[in-house]
Structure 1
Amino acid sequence: MAEMRDQANELKALESMLSDASAEPTKLSYALLKSVTRNFSRMIERGGFGAVYLGILPKGKVAVKKLSILQDLSNNAFVDEIVCLKKAHHSNVVRLLGYCALAHGELMEVNGTHVIAQETQRLLCFEYVPNGDLQNYIKEKCAGHEWQIHYQMIKGICHGLHYLHKQRITHLDLKPENVLLDANMEPKITDFGLSRFLAEGQSIIVTKQIFGTRGSIAPELINSGEISFKSEIYGLGVIITKLLTRDNNYDFEDWHKTLEVGCSQEKRCVEIARKCMEYDQHKRPTMDEIMQELNEMENTIQEKKPSVVQKWRNNLSSSLKGH
């Protein structure tokens, strides 16, 4: 009975967090997450780092990311991801509601000998974002939408990334698949499994392990293992380019030469994207400079925005990526 009361109280606390944007992420029990996901029966997405399941609450929905126990994920890496997410309070960053790490022993046979091996379940509970990811949007719906909707997405992603850099957080896997779209088509950056902190005064981390996804990785990370905020700017440029061309299969070198640009605002975004994708990282702008450019552009260009943003279908199959 006491256990049932505890779980009921925990469920109420989780529900209250959905309506309180200032609430801090909290530790959640495995039993609660197993219950709201109906024993992890309704999978939203599966990726390289685990699977994501839909969680149903009496007054809302959540997305539960269950990290794969087969992945070589240390407790330190899991803690680093939680710490990054706990610092990321922004409307353009997916919101972490809670986390769970449950260790238990399991009998296994190793080289003919039976041993008790410790196995750890690691889970993260997020706000549910209904309209899937940006990659799927570009692939299926992009061509029919107006420029102002795409500009709203570009601006939102820039706001989110600018906030992360102010918090000294490098996402390290910024790509369309890791940008979710909410009910109003506002973008939210997600999947902080590779994220790192850069200490004050630290501008570069050198690693032997290549992070990220081919096509969005900066040249210096591939060539010399250098991680910096400028590395992430490169991935931002790729995202902006895909929204400008409304296509995943654009000409990487000359995409801007054949692009039909409809307004001066769009032309400025083409230039921002080109600068972001400079081979030399020192020629790329900072997020401060990009935000200044966007602010100046909005102050000088008066264009009527659509009063109603077309809502995309509620696609359960692609809510929160499990990459």
Structure 2
Amino acid sequence: MATEASGVKRSIIGELPTREIPLDFLKKITNQFSDECIIGSGAFGKVYKGVVEETSEVVAVKRLSESSPVSRDTAFKNEVLNIMALNHENIVKLVGYCHESQKKVVQNNGRYVVADIVECLLCYEYLPKGSVHKNLFEIPGYMNWETRFKIIKGICQGLCFLHKIPIVHMDLKPENILLDDNMVPKIADFGLSRLFGQDQTRQRTQNVVGSYGYIAPEYLYRGEISTQSDIYSLGLMIIEITTGEKHIPERNEPSARKFLDKVREKWTPEYIVSNSLYASLGAEYLEQVKACIEIGLECVHPERKKRPSIDVIADKLNGK
């Protein structure tokens, strides 16, 4: 990713004295946050491709929006404090951050005034393949089963790591799982994440935010947060990745009940064997498909306590 000097790879960002990156530097590598550099956007802001000319180093720069689901400062703190120290193959790496104010002349009630404008930015490793959503539902062509199963197992490994801390992600969905060159999945976008105390298993909130369809019912209707909130979202993702069918929430129906009922009815063992996607698979792979459907449906049980833990899910995927 970076050029070599005297046989040693250099990284300008890696050579910074702290992980706090100057705003001017991030402006420079994104061409002043130009539209041509945008590689993604979501509820929390836009993501830009940043290229360091001196080394050809590539990073992803997220510029947090003031209109995000939670306050911009809260989202910034969640991302920085919850994932800065994390080091796992299936968790996106946070390279650095920027929280800097600059004085600008702005209009206020018809008058021009000098104001401090705060910018909140996060700098991540660049993952060229994009999201699971993009690769599964937007790019023409078929993603083979081995790749799908590898992605499912990788997501579960990353979530297992998070839940041992414990960190609850709170916004798991295909758009927030990014893929590297080798299709290794990495959990990203921790703007809604919660870090629990050592003996804490649940929290309550009145401010329910997230992605409709992927929100666990106890959180959606009662504001209850636990690691099992993530398990529900994970189950829906496993089903989508396995079936290749996308859940599209209805405007007046925030749950995924209708989609899940359809999956239960349609994706029987007999259908899996006869399905054109998997008809050519050997017995071992067909068992993996069946197991993923079963696990996914167990994960989306409406009762939190009846969902499996991430450890149990990982063991099942590994054939234990």
Task: Please say whether Structure 1 and Structure 2 have the same fold, judged by a TM-score greater than 0.5.
Answer: yes
- Report the secondary structure of 2:218's partner residue: helix
| Structure 1 match to 2:281 | none
**What CA distance in whole angstroms lies between the structure 1 residues aligned with 2:71 and 2:229?**
24
Cα deviations by residue, 1:245-292 (Å, 9 ceiling, x for unpaired): 111159421314422335112211111111100000110011121122
For structure 2, which runs of at least 5 residues remain unmatched after alignment? 1-9, 249-258, 274-285
Cα offsets for 1:166-187 (capped at 9, x unmatched):
1211111000110111111111
2:256 is aligned to none
SS in 2 for 1:174: coil
CA distance in 2, matches of 1:204, 1:156: 25
Partner of 2:32: 39
**Corresponding position of 1:186:** 184
Is the CA contact 1:275–1:285 (under 8 Å) kept in the aligned structure 2?
Answer: yes
- Mapping of residues 115-126 of structure 1, within 5 Å: 115-126=113-124
Deviation at 1:37, TM superposition (A): 1.3
Q: Any idea what SS the aligned residue of 2:102 has?
A: strand
Superimposed CA distance per residue, residues 71-126 of structure 1 (whole angstroms, 9 cap, x where no aligned partner): 56353542232011113211111110010011123344544666543321011111
Query: Are the equivalent residues in 2 in contact too, given 1:138–1:247 (CA < 8 A)?
Result: no
The match for 1:320 is none
The more displaced of 145-154 and 231-240 is 145-154
Asked if 1:51 is matched to 2:46, the reply is yes
In 2, the alpha carbon distance for the partners of 1:13 and 1:143 equals 38
Q: Which amino acid aligns with 2:261?
A: E
- Partner AA of 1:294 in structure 2: L
Q: Which residue of 2 aligns with 1:65?
A: 62
Contact conserved, 2:78 with 2:190, CA < 8 A, in 1? Answer: no
Q: Which amino acid aligns with 2:82?
A: C
TM-score normalized with structure 2 length: 0.81
Aligned 8 A contact 1:54 1:61 in 2: yes
| SS, match of residue 255 in structure 1 | helix
Check the 8 A contact 1:97/1:125 in 2, yes or no: yes
The question of whether the paired residues in 2 share the 8 Å contact of 1:138 and 1:248 is answered with: no
Cα pair 1:106 1:118 within 8 Å, conserved: yes
How large is the RMSD of aligned CA atoms in angstroms? 2.3
**Residue 153 (1) aligns with residue 129 (2):** no
After the TM superposition, which of the residue ranges 155-164 and 41-50 deviates more from structure 2? Answer: 41-50
Of residues 205, 219, 231, the one that matches 1:221 is 219
- Once residues 106 and 134 of structure 2 are traced to their aligned partners in structure 1, the CA distance between those partners, rounded to angstroms, is 41
Q: List alignment gaps of at least 5 residues for structure 1.
A: 1-10, 18-23, 300-323
What letter corresponds to residue 211 of structure 2 in structure 1?
Answer: T
Q: Which of these residues, 222, 237, 246, is aligned with residue 248 of structure 1?
A: 246
1:87, 1:167 within 8 Å by CA — same for their partners in 2? no
Aligned with 1:209: secondary structure?
A: coil
1:258–1:75 CA distance, 2 compared to 1 (3 A)? closer
Q: How many residues align?
A: 281
CA distance in 1, matches of 2:215, 2:27: 36
Quote the Cα distance in structure 2 between the aligned partners of 1:196 and 1:167. 11
CA contact (8 A) 1:142 1:246 kept: no
Residues 112-168 of structure 1 show CA distances to partners (whole Å, capped at 9, x for unaligned) of 666543321011111110111111222134862321111101000000111111121
**Given residue 252 of structure 1, which amino acid in structure 2 is its aligned partner?**
L
8 Å CA contact 1:15, 1:60 repeated in 2: no
After superposition, the C-alpha distances for 1:195-241 in whole angstroms (9 at most, x for unaligned) are 11111111111111112100100000111001110011000000000
Candidates 252, 261, 267, aligned match of 2:272: 261
The answer on 1:166 being equivalent to 2:177 is no
1:27 aligns with 2:38: no
Q: Determine the C-alpha separation between the residues in 1 that align with 2:168 and 2:193.
A: 6
Residue type at the aligned position of 1:253: D
**Counterparts in 2 of 1:253 and 1:151: CA distance versus 1, 3 Å:** same
**Pairwise CA distance, 1:45:** 1.7
Which stretch of the first structure deviates more once superposed, 175-184 or 139-148?
139-148
Which of 272, 286, 307 lines up with 2:295 in the alignment?
Answer: 272
Higher relative contact order (CA 8 A, sep 6+): 1
Partner secondary structure for residue 227 of structure 1: strand
Contact 1:69 1:121 in 2 (8 A): no
Q: 2: CA distance between counterparts of 1:255 and 1:67?
A: 36
2:72–2:120: 8 Å Cα contact kept in structure 1? no
2:64/2:72 contact within 8 Å kept:
no
**For residues 74 and 243 of structure 1, what CA distance do their matches in structure 2 show?**
31
Aligned equivalents of 1:185, 1:124: Cα separation in 2: 23
